[in-house]
Amino acid sequence: MCKWLAVIGISLVLILFIYPSAFIYPKDTLPDNNDTRLIAYIIGQAQKNILQGQSLHYGTFFAPDKNTLTYSDLFLTSAIITLPARLFTDHPIIIFNLALVTHFLLTIIASYLLFGYLLKDHWVTTLAVILFNFSGYHLHYLPHLQMFSLWPLLLSIYFFIRFQNENRIVFLNLYFLTVTAQIAESIFPVYLIFFASISLVIARFGTLNQSNPEKPGSPRHIFLAMTKYSLPFLPVWIFLLFPYFQLHLSLPEASRPIRDAAHFSLGLDEVFTKYHSWTTILLFLVSYLSSHGWSQNHYPILKRLRKAKKHGLRLLSEFFAARQDGFAAGQRAIRFSKRIRMNSDHLAWKIIFFFSLIMSLGPVLKIFGQNFRIFGFPIPLPYALFYYLFPGFTGFRTPSRFIVLTLLAAVIIIGFYLKPLFEKLKLKTKFIFILLLLSLLLLEADLPLKGYPVNINTHPVYEQVKALPPEAVILELPIKLWNMPDHEIESIRSLYSLTHHHRRLGGFSGFATKTWIDLVEKINTHGLNPENIEKLKSFGVTHAVSPCAPAPTFFSKL
């Protein structure tokens, strides 16, 4: 208990140092000047939907469509976690900052659990927790709560490994529970969980070379268990995901063109330069080189393992045949089985590392902002195959986010490599090394991270908007697309709607329909001419709101 209190206390101090605005100005600042406003609105709207018994995906923007929270991530887990805060305040900026701090703390705790279980060394675990949470690869996503909040990813992998090693169904149920929490928050990291889980199964089976497909830990056993125990969770998953499925069926533009995926992927140079985390990169290289000599000591074991596979012999039989009988041989067999498991763990995280790194590069190889070509042809990468063949990939446009899974695998590999070295160091040397690592990471991050001021005090005209009938739909002028100057006003107006409760034509999100985009462009080009007014009426818009007007305007009077 004291250990966890210390972890929580130190974590909160570090969070305060990294992003003090969440503590000092929780009502007036956000980590960026646009996307976090949208997330703050979605969390607030999701909480209102829960309290008022509305559809969980109901949104006030992009009228006349209703379930417009499907245009972005739902952030339902954040809404539920921070729901008790509404006993004291319903201010969306305060609630967002509370969610941010809570998720950061939970991510640190979850990483401590996972790394502690895998590395089984207090000092190496501490190093891995610091490296993962405070690396530039992670802090880069501070404004993107869906990618910064990684505790469901970490806990899912932790519970899956525990189930894989111990064959206890409780861990499988906890795995599905954390997957559900991730689906409710954001869909993309669910794919990271899936690919990590598949890699763990492949690595374990490939290393053990099990001849019995029913044996615990075999792919068949895991598949059957996961099929059986996922059934109670399926209705919840369908409930959360079906509105997104409907969106993709009804609107072809909900499928992102592969050019978008190429645009938002990493160039080969950006893997090293974009995230300002040379400490992580150099430590990865140094740990690999330092482990090379240690790995040579295990070469005879690995050689025997390969030889056993080559001749089709069972590993344990080969081991016992080559050793003396008795207690000593039994003890060696136990140590040998542990080494096999260790080798499978190493293999799994190497698979995850290279797979996620390649996926983050997107559908074609880029370098310095340009497609890398051979004889005039771009070099296709595996992401292109997943885009066309794997369910759901057409809805994503940010392959670069696979880099967080690369970071996770890299940190665990570093831990495996440094563990033998750390066992030889003195206590004082370990402490100094970890302090030095933390200092380098914090220097790289250019702390404290900046908070952007946000003012959601409404214009006086919105006092009259509150008095409009509940069925009123408003048009706020000037209306903006995301690529127009001063488009940030739309995310502020979304926050206004948490106060006046009316649906609105405008909006800012990760998606918008072509029909809506065409109408907004016509309004900005031709103003409220008769044709546009009739189109607005067909959208159900009843009032126009402008800061220049003293009161909302009825279209029927225009």
Q: How many CB atoms lie within 10 A of CB 525?
A: 9
pTM score over 0.75: yes
pLDDT tens digits, one per residue of 446-492:
889 999 999 888 888 888 899 999 999 999 999 999 888 888 899 99
Report how far residue 178's alpha carbon sits from residue 296's, in angstroms, rounded to the nearest whole number.
Answer: 39
Which residue is associated with the tokens 């295990």?
298
pLDDT tens digits, one per residue of 320-371:
454 445 444 445 444 544 554 556 678 999 999 999 999 999 999 999 988 8
Which residue is associated with the tokens 């001021």?
453
**Residue spans of beta strands (DSSP E) within 425-557:** 452-453, 473-476, 503-504, 543-545, 553-554
pLDDT value of residue 292? 65
Angle, CA of 264, 267 and 269, to the nearest 5°: 145
Mean pLDDT of the chain: 87
What backbone phi and psi angles, to 5 degrees, belong to 60? -90, -15
Mean pLDDT, residues 264-277 = 93
pLDDT value of residue 290? 77
Mean pLDDT, residues 410-427 = 93
- Per-residue pLDDT band for 252 (boundaries 50, 70, 90) equals confident
Mean pLDDT, residues 374-400 = 91
Which residue is associated with the tokens 């909480």?
47
pLDDT value of residue 549? 75
Give the three-class secondary structure for 21.
helix
At 33, list the tokens: 């000047």
pLDDT tens digits, one per residue of 89-124:
999 999 999 999 999 999 999 999 999 999 999 999
pLDDT tens digits, one per residue of 198-238:
999 998 876 555 545 556 667 788 889 999 999 999 999 99
Report how far residue 482's alpha carbon sits from residue 469's, in angstroms, rounded to the nearest whole number.
Answer: 29
- Ranking 90-94, 162-166, 292-296, 511-515 by mean pLDDT, the lowest is 292-296
pLDDT tens digits, one per residue of 47-75:
999 999 999 999 999 999 989 999 999 99
Residue ranges of domains in the chain:
278-444, 461-557
DSSP string, 330-360: HHHHHHHHHHHHHHHHHHHHHHHHHHHHHHH
pLDDT tens digits, one per residue of 532-547:
999 999 999 999 998 7
* Statement: residue 299 has pLDDT above 90: no
Report how far residue 62's alpha carbon sits from residue 421's, in angstroms, rounded to the nearest whole number.
Answer: 57
pLDDT value of residue 226? 92
* Statement: residue 24 has pLDDT above 70: yes
Mean pLDDT, residues 369-374 = 88
pLDDT tens digits, one per residue of 117-170:
999 999 999 999 999 999 999 999 999 999 999 999 999 999 999 999 999 999
pLDDT value of residue 551? 80
pLDDT value of residue 216? 62
pLDDT tens digits, one per residue of 127-141:
999 999 999 999 999
